[in-house]
Amino acid sequence: MTTTATRPATPPRALSASRTTATAARVLRQLTHDPRTIALLILIPCVMLFLLRYVFDGSSRTFDGIGASLLGIFPLITMFLVTSIATLRERTSGTLERLLAMPLGKGDLIAGYALAFGTLAIIQSALATGLAVWFLDLDVTGSPWLLLLVALLDALLGTALGLFVSAFAASEFQAVQFMPAVIFPQLLLCGLFTPRDTMHPALEAVSDVLPMSYAVDGMNEVLRHTDMTATFVRDALIVAGCALLVLMLGAATLRRRTA
Amino acid sequence: MMNNAPGSPRPGPAPIPGQSPDPDTPAVHAENLTVVRGPRTVLRNLGFTVPRGQITGLLGPSGCGKSTLMRALVGTQAKVTGTLDVLGRPAGHPTLRTRIGYVTQAPSVYDDLTVRQNLDYFAAILDPGRPAADRRDADVTRAIADVDLTTHADALAGNLSGGQRNRVSLAVALLGSPELLVLDEPTVGLDPVLRRDLWNLFHDIATGRGATLLVSSHVMDEAERCHRLLLMRDGELLADDTPDVLRTRTGATTVEEAFLRLVDEAKAAARTKETTR
């Protein structure tokens, strides 16, 4: 019999850097065995932007507005979907129960997922932004880096929302239905279709508390101003704050003991 | 060479193989253990002790509460009342998470990772950090060899057969040489040769590595391979003894027969209780 290392009896902490990165690496490694998902994640936003550009072939002003908003909305939607399904699978396959019986902090798991999908979101957003700005002539007054920053925050928000709703879904069918339930109302109210101040006052008030409104607002700030405006900073902070809040709510839905 | 629990109060001489490393506290001690799931009381006032360094079989028909008891032991079951101490700590205590290996009934591994990648990840959770990388590698290689999957180490878990995936799940539980292994039906769906090999491994782990095993099964012939047995039915404990004593006490030739007689006795007792009421 070989001599083996005994498990160290260090009490687990809420957040450990090495366990978080191990989790992120594992999630990304799972994806590398699924190249089709990666291809879809990266290509769909580009194809949609390409399509949009020629749908509004005659009015490039319209493309500027909608294109910039969509750069913020795509990462939110795709990360929402990917995360809700991935964490649901973790819950139903028993791996979540196994991990929580091990010295893994809930924060490690959530931060690991956020880190992995955040990385993916950076690649996705960088490609989509690059395509829009350099090849589809999206006319951005501000820095494309700021567009990328908002896109990344949106992706984090999507990851957070996906993680959170997966707790309320018992099957993949239900998880997918949460997409229209959680995302569509925000899509309608975020100012993509019509400026928010022209909506019915009640709807405008609702849109004021939905995080996607600030994501789109932030994108439009970059579109119109050369500098980082105070409104942009406010928008970015609100989106980041919402993402953090929902991530913490998501952590609360992970229970070590279940019935 | 064996796993004396780190931080264990007993400095003494190296434990003799097969003997518990910490004889003062039993591996598991339960008193008035009750678990409620929804409207049902799944476990009713259980009281038993599992000695260290042995294989204890948890047997009973499906649905009798074996899995719930195991989940209570590893600290993933809600609504547990009564006393339940594991390795000298209350069940679910954070420091126990590195000292217990747990295998659920369904293989809980990532289908879209290879066998080795699965184990690498769980090893990194148990023993994190870059300095431990070499130790983890050796541990992972050993665990894969233990369950006889070395030739499949680079296959995706999802492409393996059901029995093979079960063994990947078992390998995860063997990582880091835990003091207590809680195995929920680890031999379901395995052919006779593999079943024999796994039981040999279990005995090896108990006697050679001094660990305690709690193995559930609803196949009674596996009971003969255990040092001790807990027989369960409908959330209650029918017997807690060695196979030999059980057979002698009930005058049966096999544990299966002994179990059936105990069930009949329990039923008869319940009937008389009802009629005298």
Taking an 8 Å cut-off on Cβ atoms, the answer to whether B94 and A103 are in contact is: yes
Choose from A3, A4, A96 for mutation: most chain B CBs within 10 A.
A4
Q: Which residues of A touch B37 (CB under 8 A)?
A: 259
CB A30, CB B120: distance < 8 Å:
no
Smallest Cα–Cα separation from B15: which of B50, B49, B52? Answer: B52
**C-alpha B62: how far from chain center:** 16
Q: Which residues of A90-101 are buried (b: 16+ CB within 10 A; e: fewer)?
A: bbebbbbbbbbb
Question: A31 CB contacts (<8 Å, ≥6 apart)?
Answer: A37, A38, A116, A120
**Cα atoms in the Cβ-side hemisphere of radius 13 Å centred on B78:** 8
- Would you call A16 and B128 a contact, using CB atoms and an 8 Å cutoff? yes
Asked if B127 lies within 8 A of A7 by C-beta distance, the reply is yes
The pLDDT score that the predictor gives to residue B60 is 87
Cβ-defined contact of A258 to B77 (cutoff 8 Å) = yes
Q: Do A98 and B122 touch (CB under 8 A)?
A: yes
Residue with tokens 């099957």: A171
Measured distance between the N- and C-terminal CA atoms of chain A, rounded to whole angstroms: 39
Would you state the structure tokens that stand for residue A23, as one six-digit string?
């989790």
**Cβ within 8 Å, pair A29-B129:** no
Which residue from A minimizes the CA distance to B2? A3
Stretches where chain A sits below pLDDT 70 are: 1-14
Per-residue pLDDT of chain B (277 residues; tens, 9 = 90+): 334 434 333 333 344 444 444 557 899 999 999 999 888 999 999 999 999 999 999 998 888 999 999 999 999 999 999 999 999 999 999 999 999 999 988 889 999 999 999 999 999 999 998 888 999 999 999 999 999 999 999 999 999 988 899 899 999 999 988 999 999 998 887 888 888 888 999 999 999 888 999 999 878 788 888 999 999 989 999 889 999 999 998 888 888 888 888 888 888 887 887 676 5
Q: Which residues of A touch B104 (CB under 8 A)?
A: 94, 97-98
In A, which residues are within 8 Å of B21 by CB distance?
none
Nearest to A256 among B75, B98, B104 (CB): B75
* pLDDT at res. B23: 55
Asked if residues B243 and B277 have their Cβ atoms less than 8 Å apart, the reply is no
- Determine the residue type at B256: E
Q: How far apart are CA A13 and CA A106, in angstroms?
A: 9
CB contact under 8 A, A29 and B99: no
Q: Which amino acid is residue A231, in one-letter code?
A: T
Provide the whole-model pTM.
Answer: 0.85
Q: A191 with A235: CB under 8 angstroms?
A: no
A interface residues, B as partner, C-beta within 8 Å: 1-12, 16, 18-19, 22-23, 25-26, 29-30, 33-34, 93-95, 97-104, 255-259
- CA distances for A221 relative to A135, A147, A224, B210, angstroms: 21, 10, 5, 66
CA distance A182 to chain B (A): 28
Nearest to A1 among B110, B125, B209 (CB): B209
Q: Do B125 and A11 touch (CB under 8 A)?
A: no
Buried b (16+ CB within 10 A) or exposed e, A40-66: ebbeebbeebeebbeebeeeeeebbbb
What pLDDT score was predicted for residue B271?
Answer: 81
Predicted local confidence at residue B192, as pLDDT = 87
What's the gap in Å between the CA of A128 and the closest CA on chain B?
A: 28
Nearest chain A residue to B103 by CA distance is A98
CB A94 to CB B124 under 8 A? Answer: no
pLDDT for residue B276:
66
DSSP B112: T
